[in-house]
Chain A
Amino acid sequence: MDQPELAECDPTKVLENFEDCPEILGPVAKLFREAYVPDMQALRRALENRDSVNFAFIAHKIKGSASYFRADHVTHIAGQLEERGQRKDLNGVHAMVEELNRALNSLSRALKQAEERLEVRL
């Protein structure tokens, strides 16, 4: 099945929280990239195990984590997933989990672009 097209994250927006300290974006983005793949694996595992408490915890973690990059789409979907976990209602959330994964990949690409822009600026 074709996935609906996802709006790409905006590198300019990603930079907003780093205006006063652009030099830290690179190291912070690297740590974020290292963390989100295992976080998504843990989210999928929690879904497989129908572990709604852990599912809500991981979705909350991803939400807070992406919020530093002003990634509204990621925080929105992660927030919805957290809420579903809290309600112990994990039926039909697979598609949302995959959408979250695509949104995180888009954020990762935006971070790379933002880093490249900063390299030119610094």
Chain B
Amino acid sequence: MITVAVDWQYRRAMLGPQAFAVHQCIAQKAGCCVTDRQKRDHVRENPLSNPPTPSILVVEDERHIARFLEFVLHKEGYTVESAFDGDEAVQRLQSHTYSAVLLDLGLPGRSGQEVLRYLRSSEERDKTVVIVLTAKFSGDVLHEVLAAGANAHCPKPVAPSTLLRKLKELGVANGYCAATGGTNPTILEECRL
């Protein structure tokens, strides 16, 4: 049995009680841990079988876009937080190390470029994967953000499949049970064991 790296409260809120009950039942039949207690027991008994879930910070001032990206990433099993301006992003980065940051450039307060410079100013945060998201992509902007240390870019509107593929290519792999709606084939095998 494998621990499901899914925020069940979030799923319950998104799906509503009836659809969630069906969803949870399918996951149980597939051999996944579905309650917090089962998860805790499983982690205690199998400390090495539960890789940490990659955490992603979405930095985007448009709340509906942030919400959309949060949903897409949650669905794939990532842990997601959002910051709605550059200053909030820096505050979050000061207190937490993320696997990846999805960074809009046109932000209120500190710009996306400033947040990127802040990220790359420390050795610890330097390992964080940065994907820049923006609607304005001239060659100059692209050159500037890549030179400043961004790992990749996604022009807006971001297609979920493209974003997830880029994250995987950059080594920010998710790890959760495919039986609950994910797509990671490795984890699906583990679920079936």
B-contacting residues of A (Cβ < 8 Å)?
Answer: 17, 20-21, 23-24, 27-32, 35, 57, 60-61, 63-65, 67-68, 70
User: Judging by beta carbons under 8 Å apart, are A68 and B160 in contact?
Assistant: no
A50 to chain B minimum Cβ distance, whole angstroms, is 21
Chain B interface mostly: helix
User: Judging by beta carbons under 8 Å apart, are B63 and A31 in contact?
Assistant: yes
User: Judging by beta carbons under 8 Å apart, are A57 and B106 in contact?
Assistant: yes
Chain A interface mostly: helix
Query: CB-CB < 8 A to A30: which residues of B?
Result: 64
B164 to chain A minimum Cβ distance, whole angstroms, is 10
Q: In the docked arrangement, what's the CA distance between A75 and B160, Å?
A: 20
B68 to chain A minimum Cβ distance, whole angstroms, is 5
A-contacting residues of B (Cβ < 8 Å)?
Answer: 14-15, 61-65, 67-68, 71-72, 75, 104, 106, 134-136, 156-157, 159-161
User: Judging by beta carbons under 8 Å apart, are A68 and B135 in contact?
Assistant: no
User: Judging by beta carbons under 8 Å apart, are A64 and B15 in contact?
Assistant: no
User: Judging by beta carbons under 8 Å apart, are A60 and B135 in contact?
Assistant: yes
User: Judging by beta carbons under 8 Å apart, are A20 and B161 in contact?
Assistant: yes
Known: A60-B106, A63-B135. A28 touches B156 (CB 8 A): no
A-B contact count (CB 8 A): 61
Q: In the docked arrangement, what's the CA distance between A27 and B64, Å?
A: 8
Known: A17-B159, A21-B71, A24-B71. A65 touches B64 (CB 8 A): yes
Q: In the docked arrangement, what's the CA distance between A24 and B134, Å?
A: 21
Residue of A whose beta carbon sits closest to that of B72: A21
Known: A21-B75, A24-B71, A60-B135. A68 touches B106 (CB 8 A): no
User: Judging by beta carbons under 8 Å apart, are B135 and A67 in contact?
Assistant: yes
A26 to chain B minimum Cβ distance, whole angstroms, is 10
Known: A21-B160, A23-B14. A68 touches B72 (CB 8 A): no
Q: In the docked arrangement, what's the CA distance between A26 and B61, Å?
A: 19
